[in-house]
Amino acid sequence: MISALRRELFLRKDEFVSSSGVENQIETIYFGGGTPSVISNNEINLLIDEIYQLFDVAENPEITLEANPDDLSADRIKELSLSKINRLSIGIQSFFDEDLRMMNRAHNANEAWNSLQEAKKYFDNISIDLIYGIPEMTVDRWQQNVQKALNLNIPHISSYALTVEPKTALATLIKNGKIPTPDDGIAHEHFLLMIEMLEKAGFIHYELSNFGKLDYFSKNNSAYWLGKKYLGIGPSAHSFNGENRSWNIANNSLYINAIQQDKLPNEVEVLSKNDRYNEYVMTGLRTVWGVSLEKIKTDFGSDYLDYLLKNADIFLTNEKLIIENTILKTTLKGKFFCDGIASELFWID
């Protein structure tokens, strides 16, 4: 697999060169999806070195590794600190065992807490994931979850409402009536409490699900929301070059076999003008940067701007959207509903 990843990097080394021949810099390297923490330091550094050889890498790039608490023993954290990784994203989800059992997580609350205590000894830039809206999670327990993260002085928090995926243990338990269905009203209450607590503690709510202290925003995730190019390497990885979106085959064996034959095992979707408009509206409304009305007019034309403003009018009237300095943004009242609002602003043929 490592050899295949390196080969794919080589096969795609020209994809970060613009049509004018200028090479775009790599600002962030992200080891995510699956369990990247199982690979060794030598393998991590081998892949990073390959990127440096093939691409123009910015000075001091953000290099993140995703990991779960049960993967992060004290020895492993110390080992990772000796690699070129400079940021950890740890899937805590909750600091309470009852929540972790309900979500069928492999780690327990003690492992979650201990992994962060150890990580803080070696890493300054740490992000954690927290889940809200879990059935039977009280507002008080959610408040304690957020407070525990604050007590640890974690500089970045990603937080998502629980979604029930089909064919999972949680979906079966809900279907059989053993666990109540997640309540959107409770999730909304959790969401507003989290915003209040984190902003009071100096966090910036820079994207719907992400909060960071100054200088600790995720460069990787911000690239998605700002429409920058990104290159995804490995099975199931997705890429975007501003006009096309592509994704690799998910099967490991088929992926490796194709790469060994110097074939890219991916599918490509060419984004239409409507697709690009819709994606910009969707991602823009999720962020603190909002949707630039000038950009809409320049990139898409007056018809799209008129359409956007016409459909946004009801949300401006009910104060879920606001226009500040030609930037369309969600208000606190509208944040929780921004994906639904965005869908009402989409250009549909």
Q: What is the CATH class of 279-345?
A: mainly alpha
Of 156, 150, 74, the residue nearest 115 (C-alpha): 74
User: pLDDT value at position 11?
Assistant: 97
Buried b (16+ CB within 10 A) or exposed e, 69-86: bbbbeeebbeebbebbbb
In the chain, CATH 1.10.10 sits at 279-345
**DSSP secondary structure string for all residues of 238-291:** EEE-SSEEEEE-S-HHHHHHHHHTT---EEEEEPPHHHHHHHHHHHHHHBTT-E
User: pLDDT value at position 26?
Assistant: 93
Cα 121–Cα 125–Cα 127 angle in degrees, nearest 5: 105
What is the rounded CA–CA span in Å between residue 124 and residue 126?
6
220 with 64: CB under 8 angstroms? Answer: yes
How distant, in Å, are the alpha carbons of 43, 120, 277, 330 from that of 282?
A: 37, 35, 9, 11
What is the rounded CA–CA span in Å between residue 296 and residue 280?
9
Helix, strand or coil for residue 152?
coil
State the CB neighbour count (10 A cutoff) for residue 251: 13
Pick the CATH number of 25-225 from 3.30.70.270, 3.30.750.200, 2.30.30.60, 3.40.30.10: 3.30.750.200
Report the length, in residues, of the chain.
Answer: 349
Residue type, 250: A
* Three-state SS annotation for 213-226: CCCCCCHHHHHHHC
User: pLDDT value at position 18?
Assistant: 57
In terms of phi and psi (left: phi > 0; alpha: psi -120 to 50; beta: otherwise), the region of 179 is: beta
Encode the chain (349 residues) as per-residue pLDDT tens digits.
999 999 999 999 998 875 555 668 899 999 997 778 889 999 999 999 999 999 999 999 999 999 999 999 999 999 999 999 999 999 999 999 999 998 889 999 999 999 999 999 999 999 999 999 998 899 999 999 999 999 999 999 999 999 888 877 777 877 888 888 888 999 999 999 999 999 999 999 999 999 999 999 999 999 989 889 999 999 999 999 988 999 999 999 999 999 999 999 999 999 999 999 999 999 999 999 999 999 999 999 999 999 999 999 999 999 999 999 999 999 999 999 999 999 999 999 7
Structure tokens at 190: 């959790």
In the chain, CATH 3.30.750.200 sits at 25-225
Structure tokens at 76: 């492993």
What is the rounded CA–CA span in Å between residue 63 and residue 57?
11
Q: Where are the alpha helices (DSSP H) in the chain?
A: 2-11, 41-54, 74-81, 97-102, 109-122, 139-151, 169-175, 184-200, 219-225, 252-260, 273-286, 293-300, 302-317, 332-335, 338-345
What is the separation of C-alpha 83 from the centre of its chain, rounded to a whole number of angstroms?
Answer: 23
User: pLDDT value at position 201?
Assistant: 98
48 with 17: CB under 8 angstroms? Answer: no
User: pLDDT value at position 163?
Assistant: 84
Residue 40: DSSP 8-state: -
What is the rounded CA–CA span in Å between residue 150 and residue 197?
9
